[in-house]
Amino acid sequence: MPVRTRDEAAALARRYLDAMERRALDEAARCVAADAVLTFPGGHRRAGVADIVSGSGARYQFVGKHFEAVEAYDAPAGGFVVYCRGTLHGRWRDGAPFEGIRFVDRFEIDGEGIRRQDVWNDAAEHRLARAAALAPSSEPVR
């Protein structure tokens, strides 16, 4: 899987994310270098694709991505930096649907594959707002 161009780097990032969404873990793992650093919101590091699925299983039944943009750049030290951004959709652990949660995935990619993934999203804010909306009110009914 040699990656020689920005287009190939962007395609690798999308192939990886698409495989993760389908839970095609072997396919996703082939996109990732053996020593990759995978960091998720809250600074949570994951050891590999199976660990990513395990970590998200406590929050989601299913999560998918609607992409708004995939942008690839040459990295100063060689290789490429790829940004994927858009919104998340899916079902929370209790089965309630969600959509429109912003995300950004940043990848560092070289000839070995994905060396680093950093993930940012607004899922925690949405979970907090949902919990507050579902909590019983302490206000008296008038």
What's the rounded mean pLDDT across residues 84-104? 96
Give the helix/strand (H/E) hosting 25. helix 25-29
Instruction: Give all strands (DSSP E) within the chain, no chain letters.
Output: 32-40, 44-46, 60-74, 80-92, 97-110, 113-121
Find the angle CA(120)-CA(122)-CA(128) to the nearest 5 degrees.
135
- Predicted confidence at residue 142, as pLDDT, reads 60
140 pLDDT band, cuts 50/70/90, is low
pTM for the whole thing?
0.89
pLDDT higher than 80, residue 141:
no
Q: What is the CATH number of domain 6-134?
A: 3.10.450.50
What's the rounded mean pLDDT across residues 83-110? 97
- Predicted confidence at residue 79, as pLDDT, reads 97
What's the rounded mean pLDDT across residues 45-64? 88
- Predicted confidence at residue 136, as pLDDT, reads 81
Percent of the chain with pLDDT over 70: 95
Q: What's the start-to-end Cα distance of the chain, in Å?
A: 66
- Extents of the domains making up the chain: 6-134
